[in-house]
Structures are given as C-alpha cells and as structure tokens.
Chains A and B, each alone.
Chain A
Amino acid sequence: MSVLIYTETEDGKFKKAAFEVASYAKEVAEKMGGEVTAVSFNANNASELGKYGVSKVLNIQNDKLGKFNAEAYADAVSQVAQKEDSKVVVLSQSANSKYLAPLLAVHLDAGYASNVVDTPESTDPFTVKRSAFTNKAFNFTKITTEVKIVGLSQNAFGLKENETEATTEDFSPELKDGDFSVNVESVDKAKDKVTIADAEIVVSGGRGLKGPENWGMIEEMADILGAATACSKPVSDMGWRPHSEHVGQTGKPVASNLYIAVGISGAIQHLAGINAAKTKVVINNDPEAPFFKAADYGVVGDAFEIVPKLNEKLKEFKAKNA
C-alpha cells in the first residue's frame, strides 16, 4: 500500500507545502500500514523528501512540464498513482493543487475531500475532518471510493521530520496532445514577494488606514517580519491595493501562523477568511470593533502612532534574534 503525494516545486526546489504533505502522508501511511511515495516535476534534489518520511520519489524530468499545466500534470500524476497502486493521494491546497485535484479525482475514480485540517479520524471507513462554511464550521467527510484524495489545508499539520532513506527514480509519463490544449501564454509573478498562500505571517490593512499613501508602514512591517501584505475587501474595491491582496470570505483564505490586522473592523465576511490563521493580532482605535472578539492579542489605539513605534521595536527584536 502506498500513499502518494504530489509535491510542488519552484525553480526545481521543493516548496514548504511539499514537506508538509509529506509529513502528513507519513502519519496516514503509518496508520494504514504502508509507505509514502512522492511524485515531483523537475525537482533538483528529489531525495530531500526523505527527511519528512518519503520512501520513494518518482521524479518527472520533462521540459514540456516546466510550467504547471493542470491537465498534463493530472495525466502524469494519475499514471504514477496507477503504477504505484496508491490508495490515498495527498496534495496541498495551493492554487495549482486545487486546480489539479478534481481532474485527478475523475481520472482515478477517487473521492476528493478538500480543505482537510487533520489526520483521518478513522481510516476504515476513511473519514477526514475538513473546514466548511468558510471556516465557520468543520465537517467530517467519509470517502467511500477505493482510492481517496485528500487536499490538506496549509499549516494544518505543520512539518514533522522523519528521517527516511528515499530512493529516487525517473518516471516518464505518456502525454497526449490533448494534455496541452489549455496553453499557458505567460506568467506574471512577483519574484521576491512572499505570497499570502505561502506566508508564515500576514500583515493586513483596512479602511482605517484612510488611503493608499499610508501603506508604507504596513509594507515596512511586512518587510521586517518577512510577511505577505493583505487587505480588506473595501480597500481593494477602492483600488488602494491590488485585488490579489483581498482576503476574506470572497477573497483569499489566510492560514498563516500569524495575522496582524491594522484598521480592520472585523466584519463577519472578513473574519471567515482569516479564522484559520493561528494567532491573530488587531490594532484598532475603536475598542468596540468586532475584531477584538476574534483576536488573541489587541492594541486599542491609533494605528498611525502604534505601527511606526511597533516597527522600530520589531526591528530591534529582529536584530537581537537574528
């Protein structure tokens, strides 16, 4: 029995999500009495996955698969799953994995549970806990097919080392022309910016910041903490910040370790999207702002005074703890 993981790389290097799905899959494999196999695309150092409990890596070296392509990747991953007779396939919930998973489900006749937040409550029947109603509730889902696909929410399990000797081999999938009928023309991605999906820390600003010209201090805090920047919906609707920064129920979900909200009231639709963040801090001059009910730590006061002071102190802290 093998648990297969789809591991994402960027420029040949594994992303943190790859190590997290490996850590998770190892625990699932132990519960079920099996081993973890990984499939990777153009990875430079495939055996690195052994650190997180992977026994075998099938690495696909193929220039045509240099850019993510959902249909082609789904075709390749299902061929690996079939060859390895995998009964469970685990992937992350990055934009690409969410694109891939439902295609894979149809290829493999497999039931798919997305946004899974914990190891299976039971493996027979295979029942997982997932978040639903945009983090307002959890839902236990039983997957009844022979092959199961698990989409693991980011930071839900964390990293767990499990030093294993990983064997690596090359795998050449059979690709069809039809696999490339959606054509990626160009990718526009900020290279040196931390993304909301990958970030450990997210610093977010709301309408309380009054205007786009005041975002310097938010960017500075993000810089000091190595964080991604985000915003509330009205802020992106007014064009103060790009749409890609809008978080919440109708925007991006946040599952970082730390979320710092500055001048955000904490409307239900905003909180829904950020509830999965582990630690939440709010800075707001209105002590009645609903965000204080959802936060772990709060500072009541004027952001224009607090944030610059906090930035100075964070710089000192970072200098000491580097």
Chain B
Amino acid sequence: MRITPSILARQAVAHINQNADAINESLERLGTGRRIRRASDDPTGTVLALRLQSDIALTDGDRRRVEQALPYLQAMDAALNQAIAILQRARELVLQASNDSLTTDQRKAIAEEMTTLRDEFLQVANTRVGDRYLFSGTAILTKPFVANLAGDVVYQGDGNQMKVTLSNDEQVPITLAGNAVFQSGEDVFAVLKDAINAMKAGDGETLRANLLPRLDASIQQILNTAASLGAQANRSERTVDTLLLQKQSFQLALSPVLDADVAEEVATYQLRQTTLQATLFAASRILPLSLVDFMA
C-alpha cells in the first residue's frame, strides 16, 4: 500500500484521540468517584443502581418510622403494666373489704383508697405521648375516657388502631382502641365503680361472689393485651436491626455498580498515559521525516 503523510497523520491523530479519551474517562471517574457517570456508560447497572438507591431510601424511611413507633409501644406497655398493678391493689382492697368484721370507718377508708385507685386508673387509660392519646384508637387527639355525672366512664375514641405502615406493607400499631382494652368483656371502670359502691354499702357477699371474679377477669383481659403488645414491641425492635442490616447489604450491592474502583482507575490511567506518551513520541519522530530535508 502507498503510505502518504496524511495516512500517517490520520493514524497518529486517531491513536492520540483514543488514548486521550480513555485518560479523560479515567480522570472523570477518579474525579467523581463514580463508575457510571452517564446512564449510557452501563445501562443495566444504571437500572440496578436506581432500584438500589430507591430501596436504600425506603429502608432508611422505614427504620426512622419504626424508631418513632417504639416510644409509643413502650409507653403503652408501661401504661398497661401500671393498670395491672392498680387492679391488683384493687383486688387486695376488695378482699379486705369483703371481711364482714370490718368497722364502718375501716370500710370507708378502704372505699376512699379505692376511689383514688379508680382515678389513677382513669389517668392511666388517658395516657398521652406528646399530643396523642394512646387508648383512643385513631381519634388520637380526643381524650378517650371521660366520667359523666352518674360516675360512669364513657369511651370517646374509636374502635380502630393508628398504624405505621412500612414499605413492605407491614404495619406497626402505635395506639390501641381503649374500649377493646378496658371495656370489652369486663368494663373495668364499671367493676371499680361497683366495688366502691359495694364497699360503701358494706356488701361483703357481692364483693366476694361478684366483684372478685370480675376483677380477676379484668386483670386477665389487660394482661392478654399487654402480652401481645410486648411481643409487638420486641418484633419492632428486631425490625430496626433488620432494616439496618438490609440497608448495609443494599449499600454493599450498590457500591460495585456505582462507585469507581480507584485502584483500577489509577492503573488504567497510568497505562494509558504511557501509551499516549509512546504514541506522541512516535508521531513526533515519524511525521516530520521527509525527503525534502535531505535535498540539497
């Protein structure tokens, strides 16, 4: 083949460009720290990266929300345990009061303590975290239990539960429907009211035969709720750990897709630089060669 200077020049320019382009790419990757600078660098990797980035964001959001839910679960747990303690004290008082040999003054004193316990119980049932009542279902800003003039406690909330939804549709309840806890099966407030009335009336028989079993049933009812709530709290605490692990594994998967391998880039950069230098050297030696220089 006839080789003309323009063929040599074209060849030299093409190779210089190729190497300069590769160096430019390496530099850009090193500068941005990213393997994928534009979607077309790696179409499949881009789709994967978008998926993983969104997964990481969702996992982060879920973890934040479960962490926000945990105080509610803990507060509900504490409130229910306090309610059980109050009812257990009430049971002792009912037992004491059912003794027929008590004096009227003694009964009155017991009835007074019982009244205090009922008020305490009402307070516990109206526990709030921040602005939210824990036992009014989804009517979180409404005080759930209010005593009317007749001394009956009326439920103001609704029968639903406020729930935190995670991205995998798992739901963590952060309130309870108070009527289901305190007024289904046994109406605990009615039990307490009846007990006070029976104490005042000195009706030991009713206290023994009627109120004691009802009080036991009330305690059992709240214990059941507390147990399932405790299980939920444990589960949610584990969920936080799981979500943290998940995020880490997503990040581990994302890194090789999106992040530049610095060591590899530096090696490529150096290799290409050497090649470019060689090309430039060859071009500078060969291109100026001409017969013209040797003609007298």
Partners in one complex: no
Binding site for A on B (CB under 8 A): none
